[in-house]
Amino acid sequence: MGERLSPGPGREGTSNAHVLFSALDRESAVRGTVDSPVLRLVDVEKRFGTTTALSRVSLAINRGQTVAIIGPSGSGKTTLLRCINFLVPYDSGRIYVNGRLIGYREHQGRLLHDREHNVNEIRKRIGMVFQRFNLFPHRTVLGNLLEGPLYVLRIPREEALLRARAALELVGLTDKVNAYPDQLSGGQQQRVAIARALCMKPEVMLFDEVTSALDPELVDEVLSVMRRLAQEGMTMVVVTHEMTFARDAADRVAFMDGGAVVADQPAGEFFERPSTPRIGAFLRRLSAR
């Protein structure tokens, strides 16, 4: 489409990240806030047929926090993320995003399905990055970044372009504005996917094993973008098998097994003193690789 990103107000080399993050995010990240949680899960349950995918999961995540969710495959990590933005409807319990119940409305203590419109309103505030990138192949990188801001948020084009430029600077792909997704490497595609989510200025971002589909040498470029986001004060829920990332970029680690959160501790503590033998065994097996 030959569209160019006009040079912004920031001079060469200066960061335009302020376009995407409010000063409040950074401040709360520094303080490691204690105010009301951005995300609160209360006794969330999900069954697929007779198998229990999530059993009584409760979790609270404050603004600016990064929580790594780890655990063996099939333990419900991905299902948990997909319930948070209601791509998968949970059966019972409550999930609050910024204090708003997602997917249901309460009526005399019962949960009734909410209107699609209300679910979409909440989804706008939740960024999601998928394992397989899921970029829109018929649109350029810029097209992918503008889609949400222009057609969902309906903000002016100039502002959407500013956001797109800031997001591409942050992920280091300003030279790929007009490329199509299949012209990019997996690592580049995943960084574009992160940028696409960022352009919505989400309150919280969900990462679903975002480095699992990447060649090993491309993993670091994606993780370093995520570290940067954590520093900027983004609230993040990161399902991952990257233990190094969980150890030094996450504030907390939640360990899931059989659909339940069996440990939820500060990251350092989690790795130094595994609270159950099962977790110890899991960590040893991973580090043995």
Partner 1 sequence: MLEFTREYFPLYLRGAVIGLGITVATMLGSVALGLVTALGRVSGNRVAQALGSAYVALFRGIPPLVLLYVIYFGVPSWASSLGIRVVADFLAPLNNRIIATVIALAINSGAYSTEIIRASIGSIPVEQMEAARSLGMSSWLAMRRIIIPQSARVAFAPLGNEFITVLKGTSLASVIGVTELMRDAQLAAASTFQNLMAYTLAGVFYVAMVIVLQYFVSLIERRFAVAHK
Kindly list the residues in this chain that would bind partner 1 in the complex (CB under 8 A): 85, 87, 116-117, 120-121, 123-124, 126-128, 130, 132, 134-138, 147-148, 151-153, 180, 182-183, 196-197, 200
Task: Give min distance, CB of 200 to partner 1, in A.
Answer: 6
- The residue among 128 and 279 lying less far from partner 1, judged by its C-beta, is 128
Identify the residue whose tokens are 């956001």.
Answer: 163
Give the whole-angstrom CA distance, residue 107 versus residue 112.
7
73 CB-near residues (< 8 Å, 6+ apart):
none
Closest to partner 1 by CB, 24 vs 152, is 152
Min CB(170)–partner 1 separation in Å:
18
Classify the C-alpha dihedral 198-200-202-208 as positive or negative: negative
Nearest to 171 by CA among 149, 147, 195: 195
- Residue 1 vs 23, nearer CB to partner 1: 1
Minimum distance from CB of 160 to partner 1 (Å)?
Answer: 13
If the CB atoms of residues 194 and 263 are measured against partner 1, the closer one turns out to be: 194
Among residues 205 and 267, whose Cβ is nearest to partner 1?
205
Neighbour-count burial of 60, counting CB atoms closer than 10 A to its CB (0-12 exposed, 13-18 middle, 19+ buried): middle
- Asked whether 238 and 224 are in contact (CB, 8 A), the reply is no
Beta strands 252-257 and 66-70, pairing class: parallel
Which of residues 122 and 246 has its CB atom nearest to partner 1 in the complex?
Answer: 122
CA–CA distance, 269 with 186 (Å, rounded to integer): 33
Q: For residue 123, what are the CA distances in angstroms to 155, 201, 232?
A: 17, 11, 21
Least distance from partner 1 to the Cβ atom of residue 129, Å:
9
Are 211 and 242 within 8 A, CB to CB? yes
